[in-house]
Amino acid sequence: MTAPPWPVAALGLVLSQLLTAVALSAHEAMHGSVFPPGPRRQLLAWLGLAPLLVTPGMWVAWHVQAHHGHANRGGLDPDALYDVSDHHAVARLRRWVTLGTDAPVASVLANLVLFSLQGQLFLWVVCDDPALRDKLTLDRRRERLLTVLLALGWGALAVAIGPWATLWGLVVPFLGMNATLMGYIATQHWLLPHTEADDPARTTQSVTVPRWIDRLHFEFAWHQEHHVFPRMSHRFGPQVRAAVQRLEPEAVPPQPVGRVLWRVWRTPSSMDGPATLSSLDRRRRVPLPDRPQGA
């Protein structure tokens, strides 16, 4: 018997957020704030990242080494926006599937898969860039083989459970996880300039979300604080922010995630130099502030 579509769809969306929570707990673990190195950390990483077609070894190289080591540094941070003058195939693809005004409808749809797509671009192309290659401890052959096996495993499961269960049990959660994680990445990094400085106050901003979402997502919204203390649990983010506000009263507090996401969607999705967002034809240019701005 076929289940009613709307309750099943709702369950698929709920499952996407529960899996996102597991993925974010894996993020905490791989930074060393949950378990010491060992099988427990690896198990949690596999459980959280496998639904996104990401392996733990790939995640360490992509997120911990490349992103945290070079946040918002053009050509080194795989999560940063690309420059409008960069004609590399990866740059051309990313420009058209990044949330922004160049292709607003397509960009919204693309963000349903963009997190996983970024991971695959990193694994198969970006990690071999000469500027980045020697900065990574990545066993490329092993992680690529594991990724192929992971994809085949999900494909076999889809065949075994049939199209209906695949749609609501695998595809919808996959899309929901991607959209949620890209919402965080876009709001926490993309409205800030590229810089050579290792300064989280200039490369990262925190956002605010409803408290129940914050609890479900392990306080991931406190992202600037995470870049200051990467191995610290996100649950201490509010305490770090309170200390920052006492020491530097003019520091801009976190902004509502919906407001920041609206700004991201209404601006171009490419860089033209380190401090300007630009449309592909350079007709629309939006200067970026040196640091996160308030409302």
- Rounded Cα distance between 144 and 154, Å, is 15
194 CB neighbour count, 10 Å cutoff: 22
- Rounded Cα distance between 104 and 100, Å, is 6
Higher-pLDDT residue of 50 and 253 is: 50
93 CB neighbour count, 10 Å cutoff: 15
- Rounded Cα distance between 74 and 166, Å, is 38
Range 210-233 average pLDDT: 93
pLDDT confidence tier of residue 2, bands split at 50, 70 and 90: low
Range 30-38 average pLDDT: 85
> Among 22-26, 170-174, 290-294, where is mean pLDDT lowest?
290-294
Q: What is the chain's mean pLDDT, rounded?
A: 90
Range 66-76 average pLDDT: 92
pLDDT tens figures, 131-168 = 999 999 999 999 999 999 999 999 999 999 999 899 99
Please, are residues 273 and 287 in contact by the beta-carbon 8 Å criterion?
A: no
pLDDT tens figures, 179-189 = 999 999 999 99
CA angle 176, 215, 22 (to 5 degrees): 50
The DSSP code for 255 is E
For 249, residues 6+ apart whose C-beta sits below 8 A from its C-beta are none
Helices (H) and strands (E) in the chain, counts: 15, 5
pLDDT confidence tier of residue 104, bands split at 50, 70 and 90: low
pLDDT tens figures, 232-283 = 988 898 899 888 888 777 677 899 999 999 998 888 888 999 999 998 888 8
pLDDT confidence tier of residue 170, bands split at 50, 70 and 90: very high
Question: What's the pLDDT at 244?
Answer: 82
Question: What's the pLDDT at 75?
Answer: 84
Question: What's the pLDDT at 36?
Answer: 80
Range 55-62 average pLDDT: 97
Question: What's the pLDDT at 50?
Answer: 97
Question: What's the pLDDT at 111?
Answer: 86
- Rounded Cα distance between 97 and 78, Å, is 14
As a whole-number percent, the residues of the chain with pLDDT over 90 amount to 65
What residues does 245 pair with on adjacent strands?
none
CA 111, 117, 119, 120: dihedral to nearest 10 degrees?
Answer: 180
pLDDT confidence tier of residue 100, bands split at 50, 70 and 90: low
> Among 89-93, 170-174, 247-251, where is mean pLDDT lowest?
247-251
Range 66-74 average pLDDT: 93
Residue type, 18: L
Question: What's the pLDDT at 92?
Answer: 78
